[in-house]
Structure 1
């Protein structure tokens, strides 16, 4: 008994593992949103994910979208090798990010491979032993060249490509999940070997889907997680502006009024899906959005707040003329916009009866609720998309960082 008490006292005296606060840096915005200590607050982040790096195939950047003519040649024309958007600019950005570690040694810099637009060669790479070897060698080389701390795999999605293939190409296979496990297992072995030589740990994380289709029966994600540092769950986009009715895109909990509630299509439901699959809580990081979506032509409805009401489509005054808003844009909305709070979902929303516009988004109040949930569940931390969407005072990052530290 005395030995147990001594052990418990020793464990209580040890500092708790700091919760992760992981933020994406959008590399393609480096001219309007440069890497500076003001834009990337390394004191409030534990990791910056540099988005995005592509995969080379047949000497070109990935498989282009049907609507985008992007066929630039790879810098390293081997199937599976990393393909940079602009290697000179990307390299300069990465070195600036790494330089922020001088004052913040616990801050990590990682490259994120894939993303929505650039995931459509993962299936080919993962299916080929030669391409996997090229990818791994290219990744280790990048770690050492730029002084990076790891790699984040944003494959969207194994078995079901988000961006359709061009004619005659293959972007998804039934074996994708198995091949993903093989790729990550081989990458883990190579990173451990390289880390032993370099006297550092190279991390491997993934961005993972939040719905049941991605997790499946759960066995594959449990096996995959064994070779990962953690999984970043993309717990947002549960509702999108192309839907006919308004809905919360990052609700924390269920709302009986929301028709997707039955599918556990909300953040806590996604977390529980992974926990039921057998993934350890400390290998799960909850993703949160620093952006919102807007619908137009929305009737006020019986509550006068536009919630769950039919609309005429997405707004067009958001980012790049689209239907999404950065948090900095939402703060500039006029007096016609009133903030509301869904107590069941723990989610804020805005509505303008005059303009008939309804907006779903994240704010400091909802971030505190998610930080509380992360702590209660023993999760690894929080991830967000993305740094440039916050306001000039870093309200969302500051709130998230302070809440996670508590």
Structure 2
């Protein structure tokens, strides 16, 4: 996934850079680099709608869990992936208040007043769970079918995945620590917050966002040739321990009700578009036995760090990365269509100093475009205003399913509702598992992109 280089602790910790996934091109700072598919029979809607909620978005962006309710997005989502959980140097899931590494304050310590709370009730000084975790719990109470997943890793926090997955013993210990922290909800004590079972019942599964097994990722991320084998074993260890915990009865005692049938914990992974990265790190037929779905990288095909402008998320493209190429690459390697969830960007990649004339695409550029949070990366809600300003012209390649803005000097490549309608038709036509979005804070206040996807997937 991608990461954002916003400012502050949360941002550094969680910037997803997907483009690096892709190849020679440098990754961007932004969200996922972030995909999905079908679930167990009788337990999932026809299509998954998976949105990433960024831990750090509650700061400078002031995007709160409550905004998912007021925008109408919560009612249209099937899954919220909470980005991110980190992996320590000793191969364990952990949290705390460690600048650039963990942010317990945002997760479960920070109190919300009545105006900022989903249920309209202010947090008290003595409750064990506050922050984003408590607000997500309140959101689930309003939407009983909504699932919340903890997403582990991302571009910046995949550093220690290879070490954690290296041996059978390390995998077992790693997965056990993640289940203890997030599924059992045993949070570290921070004043009155946290404690055993403080977040029990909140998380409905785990999303593995290792970027990338067997291939280079962020500059400090370890990767080894044996990562492919170890990733397969890690996925199986997660499936084994999640199922064992569900069957133990403890899951219904913590957050469920006595006598309830064992719950199923979802397991997903964020996976790349590059065929080279797929082959280096993913034994597709074997991991597909254990995951409920995978989230396909559907953006950052090209990023603003490159010297030439290009599409970042086209549905089709000749001799280039595209959504269709990604889907076909996974199908050819044995992935069931129903377990493939198409990633969609709620942001754009931008360049300035564009020369060469024409519509700006495929032309030299001097630098990433100025933007609100990070150069070369802009939320859809800001790009919509540019499109409506009269200064930029909206260009489309209807055949390829892509759109971009160009004012003669600055170009932004992005998805708007028209592009997303084309992509949702593709999901229906190819019987894929659904759609995923990086990230929910990039949408408009009234959830314009989320609504476009929901309507597109709801057509028969």
* Normalised TM-score (structure 1): 0.84
CA distance in 1, matches of 2:176, 2:267: 15
Aligned position for 1:318: 371
CA distance in 2, matches of 1:161, 1:15: 36
Whether the aligned pair in 2 keeps the contact of 1:54 and 1:118 (CA below 8 Å) is: yes
CA distance in 2, matches of 1:86, 1:23: 20
* Normalised TM-score (structure 2): 0.74
The 5-angstrom pairing of residues 302-313 of structure 1 reads 304-313=358-367
**Following TM superposition, by how much is the alpha carbon of 1:300 offset from its aligned partner in structure 2, in angstroms?**
5.4
| Contiguous gaps of at least 5 residues in structure 1 | 1-13, 59-78, 255-260
Judged with a 3 Å threshold, the aligned counterparts in structure 2 of structure 1 residues 171 and 221 are, in CA distance, closer, same or farther, namely: same
CA distance in 1, matches of 2:324, 2:45: 22
Superposition RMSD in Å: 1.9
The 5-angstrom pairing of residues 171-320 of structure 1 reads 171-196=222-247, 197=249, 198=251, 199-216=262-279, 220-254=283-317, 261-263=318-320, 265-299=321-355, 301=357, 304-315=358-369, 317-320=370-373
Aligned position for 1:133: 172
Whether the aligned pair in 1 keeps the contact of 2:348 and 2:380 (CA below 8 Å) is: yes
Task: Give 3-state SS (helix, strand or coil) of 1:57's partner.
Answer: coil
Q: Deviations over 1:173-228 (max 9, x none)?
A: 10001001111111101111111222211111000001111222897122111110
Aligned position for 1:5: none
Judged with a 3 Å threshold, the aligned counterparts in structure 2 of structure 1 residues 330 and 187 are, in CA distance, closer, same or farther, namely: same
CA distance in 2, matches of 1:193, 1:288: 33
Q: Deviations over 1:281-316 (max 9, x none)?
A: 011000010000111111352xx311211221211x
Task: Give 3-state SS (helix, strand or coil) of 1:216's partner.
Answer: helix
Number of corresponding residues: 357
The 5-angstrom pairing of residues 110-125 of structure 1 reads 110-125=149-164
CA distance in 2, matches of 1:160, 1:387: 28
Matched, 1:34 2:74: no
Q: 2:183 aligns with which of 134, 139, 143?
A: 143
CA distance in 2, matches of 1:218, 1:113: 17
CA distance in 2, matches of 1:52, 1:219: 21
Aligned position for 1:65: none
- Find the structure with the greater CA-based Rg: 1
Task: Give 3-state SS (helix, strand or coil) of 1:21's partner.
Answer: strand
Whether the aligned pair in 1 keeps the contact of 2:214 and 2:223 (CA below 8 Å) is: yes
Judged with a 3 Å threshold, the aligned counterparts in structure 2 of structure 1 residues 319 and 126 are, in CA distance, closer, same or farther, namely: farther
Q: Deviations over 1:338-391 (max 9, x none)?
A: 1011122111111102xx111100000000011000111110000010011111
Task: Give 3-state SS (helix, strand or coil) of 2:224's partner.
Answer: coil
Whether the aligned pair in 2 keeps the contact of 1:232 and 1:284 (CA below 8 Å) is: yes
Task: Give 3-state SS (helix, strand or coil) of 1:96's partner.
Answer: helix
**Following TM superposition, by how much is the alpha carbon of 1:15 offset from its aligned partner in structure 2, in angstroms?**
11
Q: 2:93 aligns with which of 73, 81, 84?
A: 81
**Following TM superposition, by how much is the alpha carbon of 1:129 offset from its aligned partner in structure 2, in angstroms?**
2.8
The 5-angstrom pairing of residues 36-75 of structure 1 reads 36=66, 37-38=69-70, 41-58=73-90
Q: 1:335 aligns with which of 390, 408, 415?
A: 390
Q: Deviations over 1:25-54 (max 9, x none)?
A: 000122311110225732011000000110
Whether the aligned pair in 2 keeps the contact of 1:218 and 1:278 (CA below 8 Å) is: no
Q: 1:366 aligns with which of 416, 419, 432?
A: 419
Q: Which has the higher contact order (CA 8 A, sep 6+)?
A: 2
**Following TM superposition, by how much is the alpha carbon of 1:82 offset from its aligned partner in structure 2, in angstroms?**
3.1
Whether the aligned pair in 1 keeps the contact of 2:85 and 2:93 (CA below 8 Å) is: no
